[in-house]
Structure 1
Amino acid sequence: MRGRNLLIVGLAIVLGLIAVYLANSYFSGVEQRQAREAEEGQMARIVVASQDFQFGTPLATTNLRLANWPANSVPQGAFQSVEEATRGGRVALRPIVIGEPILASKVSGEGGRAVLSAILPEELRAVSIPVNQVSGVGGFVRAGDVVDVLLTRQIPGDGADAQDQMTSVVLENVLVLAIDQVADENQTNPQIGQTATVQTDILGAQKLTLARQVGSLSLALRNVENQAVGGTRTVTPADLGGAGFYIASKSSAPAETQAAPATGRSSSGAAPRRPSGPTMSIVRGVEATTYEVKRNGGM
């Protein structure tokens, strides 16, 4: 019985080794065939994704593979080997789909981390502004969207009160890099954030920094294909309609019903009736009052 068990175990080991050998031979043959086809058809071998990548996904041998690519149309920044792509612990800085080439512009450098600064072009800046459920378009503004930034503040001037407000466009057509700490463009579900990080130049960064101090900021979501800018103007309460309507303070009502002064003028402000007969004026202090004298001598 013991010898039989040993025989079965030995047979299983031999079959396993044969399976491993056949598998290695098959995959080696596939790689050699692809390399030969690439050489014959003037194809290049570049690294592509074998699974979907999200922001911050590490590059590894398990999610990358080599694929044939037309030699005359190899994307700039493509990697020629999996070892080169995974060297130094690179991570994805942009979403990458299965079969898409791995480009240097979409991953960090060697020893890199999933930091937002790696996404920014050299001449641009990332600036964060506070948002809420209303100013953030109900949570529908996500990373990768394009927005306009609006500023609402009090109209300057000594005669302006708290209700004298105006709204102007601070920046147009700016890219949203992240909402809170979420920079994944594939996260499209509405989520209420408290901070929006946008991409702008240094002047725009200065405008947003100052705007945070002088008023409240809001985002206006726009079509990503709409690149038009300009043509905006400042909006005041007069642009909301209802011009010409005014409700007086209730404290001024009694003054309008007060008796007319003793000058003979009526409370409505109309001129007094002109006497038809002789009159007499009586001066009391500095005020003169005119009375009509009746013909029978009465007053």
Structure 2
Amino acid sequence: MRRQSVIAIAIAVVLGLVAVYLANSYFSAREAQLDAADQGTTQVAVAAVPLAYGTEITPDKVRFADFPNDVLPAGVFTSVEELLPAGQARHALRPIQINQPLLATDLTGEGEGASIAALLPDGMRAATVQVNAVSGVAGFIKPNDTVDVLITRLAIGGSETVTDVLLQNIRVIAMDQDAQGENEQPALSSTATLEVTPVEAQKLALGQQLGTLSLVLRKPGEEENIAFVETVSLDDLRYELSAGYVRAPQLTDDAPRVQPTRTAPARRLTQRATQRRTAPSRPPEPETTKVEITRGLQSETYEVGE
């Protein structure tokens, strides 16, 4: 009798534990559903596999995941029909990582292929300039980097060579034909395609005719431009302030030019040198009497001592 009671109690305990586990699982799942219902979620298309630039978007490369409505990004796709209309493919405009939402700004339009033009924001243009190993920062410039553009030219009305800052904080779209920048190793390029406004595109075109353009790589996230930039000329390389020379200020063409001077050290005067020296007085001249004699039209003066 006692053995049967122990077995019955053990079975009851096991069943009780199972019931507690099932109840806990049920209420936990129910609580999660209620929380999701309170927040509100939407199924959006995300990348099922990594997508490179130019990759065609197909149903096997896409899956749908729940996103809370309060953090839902703009431009998402909520259905396959919206993402991939019948017979109209889309392509990736930039690399997209797995589980990253597919946004309208990351894909081409319906039935369009991937191109540089699709990467341009509204009102912007793509302009290409020639670069070399030096002006292109030895191949370290990659697509989506930001650069400043310098121009080295002859000064107006003279033969002096000067360098100016032509443009600041310009985004690089592509180096040669590479718009992805997947190669992590520096690669020398002969051209750089920049994202500019229409007026900036005109400046680049004119600058290439007047002088030599150079690119200067900027730090990522540094968007503040220099309000006042200086023109660098040969004078900035010729004079060394550490050598004690004083550089003359910049003057206009019609203003007098002052050559840089170097002041000589002052000499200390001794007490003897500062004393005033009086010159010896000349002896007084003897007193004389002047007599004027006139002969005809001529007159002569004679001195007669006393």
Q: Which TM bucket (shorter chain)?
A: 0.5 to 0.7
Q: Aligned pair count?
A: 207
List gaps (5 residues or longer) in structure 2. Answer: 1-32, 246-306
Give the match for residue 134 of structure 1.
134
Residue 62 of structure 1: how far off its partner (Å)? 1.9
Selected match of 1:216 from 189, 203, 212:
212
Q: 1:143 — aligned with what?
A: 143
Q: Report deviation, 1:231.
A: 2.8
Gap regions ≥5 residues in structure 1: 1-34, 245-299
Q: Is the 8 A contact 1:149 1:172 kept in 2?
A: yes
Whether the 8 Å contact between 1:90 and 1:109 is mirrored in structure 2 is yes
Structure 1 residue runs of 4+, over 3 Å off? 35-41, 185-188, 241-244
What is the one-letter code of the residue matched to 2:138?
A: G
Match of 1:78 in 2: 76
Q: Equivalent residue for 2:115?
A: 115
Deviation at 1:84, TM superposition (A): 2.6
List per-residue Cα deviations over 1:109-150 (Å, max 9, x = no partner).
011111111111111111110011111000000101000000
Among candidates 187, 192, 201, match of residue 196 of structure 1: 192
The one-letter code of the counterpart of 2:203 is: K
Map 1:16-165 → 2, pairs under 5 A: 42-87=40-85, 88-158=88-158, 160=159, 164-165=160-161
Q: Contact between 1:38 and 1:45, CA under 8 Å: does it hold in 2?
A: no
- The question of whether the paired residues in 1 share the 8 Å contact of 2:39 and 2:70 is answered with no
Q: Structure 1 residues 38 and 181 mapped into 2: Cα distance closer, same or farther (>3 Å)?
A: farther
TM-score relative to the length of structure 2: 0.63
Amino acid at match of 1:173: N
- Distance in 2 (CA, whole Å) between partners of 1:175 and 1:54 is 20
Q: CA deviation at 1:157?
A: 2.3
- Return the alpha-carbon distance in structure 2 between the equivalents of residues 167 and 113 of structure 1: 41
Partner of 1:232: 229
AA at the equivalent of 1:192? L
TM-score (structure 1 length as normaliser): 0.65
Task: Tell me how far 1:72 sits from its aligned partner.
Answer: 2.8
Deviates more, 1:100-109 or 1:70-79: 70-79
Aligned identity (percent) is: 38
1:178 pairs with 2:187: no
Q: Distance in 1 between matches of 2:44 and 2:183?
A: 29
- What secondary structure sits across from 2:133 in the alignment? coil
AA paired with 1:46?
A: V
Please give the secondary structure, in 2, of the residue aligned with 1:79. Answer: coil
Q: How large is the Cα RMSD of the aligned pairs?
A: 2.3
Displacement after TM superposition at 1:39 (Å): 6.0
Alpha-carbon offset, residue 41 of structure 1: 6.0
Larger Rg: 2
Judged with a 3 Å threshold, the aligned counterparts in structure 2 of structure 1 residues 46 and 205 are, in CA distance, closer, same or farther, namely same
In 2, the alpha carbon distance for the partners of 1:241 and 1:38 equals: 71
Distance 2:34 2:111 in 1: 34
Deviations 1:177-217 (A, max 9, x none): 10111111444321111110111111111100100101111
In the TM superposition, what whole-angstrom CA distance separates every residue of 1:47-66 from its partner, at most 9, and x where no partner exists?
00112222111111121110
Deviates more, 1:107-116 or 1:87-96: 87-96
